[in-house]
Amino acid sequence: MIIDGKKMAEEIKESLKGEIVKSGKKLKLGIVQVGENSVSQKFIERKVKFSEEIGVKTKIYNLPAEITTNKLRKKMAEICKLVDGVIIQLPLPQHINTQYILSSIPQKKDVDVLSAKAIGDFVVGKQNVLPPVVQAIRKIFVKNNIEIVGKNVVIIGAGLLVGKPAMIWFINQGATVFVLRRLTQNIFKFTKEADIIITGVGNPGLIKPEMVKEGVIIIDAGTAMEKEKLLGDVDPSVASRASIFTPVPGGIGPLTVAMVFKNLLALNKK
């Protein structure tokens, strides 16, 4: 089955919209972008669109690429006071100490769950909200009655936004977890054993049909941009072997955006 992430995101959008109208709350999301990046630009536009449609205000803070870590941290402190939730659009420029900046977000405004404190709570299972990509995966799994305990989960990539949070969550759910990365050799040996594959490395065509077993569940969180086209890590022909398959575009991406706003509301409920 091919997951229609766009449709699922629309359903969440409607429900969040209703919740916001009912609560009468006026929420504001700050989006911080450092330097220019056409891919980031696209993702920001999607968030802004979603935001407007549910009645949440957004404010985009465009900061110069050459800003120092210290100046950015100071700027973050100001921004965090003005909004109800903050997103730092990743990646930040190479010279910035990314984690130092991410950890400056107060936990109640950390919709992406990227500050050290929020991550600590997440690891020990006491989080207020789950990382957006994890929430999106969870939604698909719950909807389709997918059991996790004892399953072999292959995660490709160990990045901040997909690999690491997925690893922590699946471990906490009782799965066997394999984290493969760029230097891993013969990845087919492990993908072949996977009941579930989560991939988020930005390497189009990395996973081919002969590398997976029949009935595998595939969540493709890869986002490579080629000639203005968004591509995942999984060859689309793998879909026919999978029992659950999230395409790119229109799979886990829109659902993850929706979860950012679900988190914004959840964190501002009390």
Q: Which stretch binds a copy of itself (CB under 8 A): 76-84, 146-154, 233-241, 249-257?
A: 146-154
Q: Which of residues 54-113 bind a copy of itself (CB under 8 A)?
A: 99-100, 102-103
Position 142 contacts a copy of itself (CB under 8 A) = no
Tokens describing residue 103: 């950890």
Size of the site for a copy of itself (CB under 8 A): 35
SS3 assignment for the chain: CECCHHHHHHHHHHHHHHHHHHHCCCCEEEEEEECCCHHHHHHHHHHHHHHHHHCCEEEEEEECCCCCHHHHHHHHHHHHHHCCEEEECCCCCCCCCHHHHHCCCCHHHCCCCCCHHHHHHHHCCCCCCCCHHHHHHHHHHHHCCCCCCCCEEEEECCCCCCHHHHHHHHHHCCCEEEEECCCCCCCHHHHCCCCEEEECCCCCCCECHHHCCCCEEEEECCCEEECCEEECCECHHHHHHEEEEECCCCCHHHHHHHHHHHHHHHHCCC
Q: Which stretch binds a copy of itself (CB under 8 A): 2-10, 82-90, 165-173, 248-256?
A: 165-173
Binding mask 178-217 for a copy of itself (x = CB under 8 A): xxxx-xx----xx--x------------------------
Nearest distance, CB of residue 223 and a copy of itself, angstroms: 21
Of 22, 24, 78, 126, which lies in the binding site for a copy of itself, with binding defined by CB under 8 A?
126
Of 24, 38, 142, 149, which lies in the binding site for a copy of itself, with binding defined by CB under 8 A?
149
* 93 cis-preceded (ω within 30 degrees of 0): no
Q: Quick one: 46 or 182, whose CB is closer to a copy of itself?
A: 182
Of 71, 117, 143, 208, which lies in the binding site for a copy of itself, with binding defined by CB under 8 A?
117
Q: Quick one: 153 or 217, whose CB is closer to a copy of itself?
A: 153
Nearest distance, CB of residue 90 and a copy of itself, angstroms: 14
Q: Which residues in this chain contact a copy of itself in the complex, by CB under 8 A?
A: 99-100, 102-103, 115-121, 123-126, 149-150, 152, 158, 164, 167-168, 171, 174, 176-181, 183-184, 189-190, 193
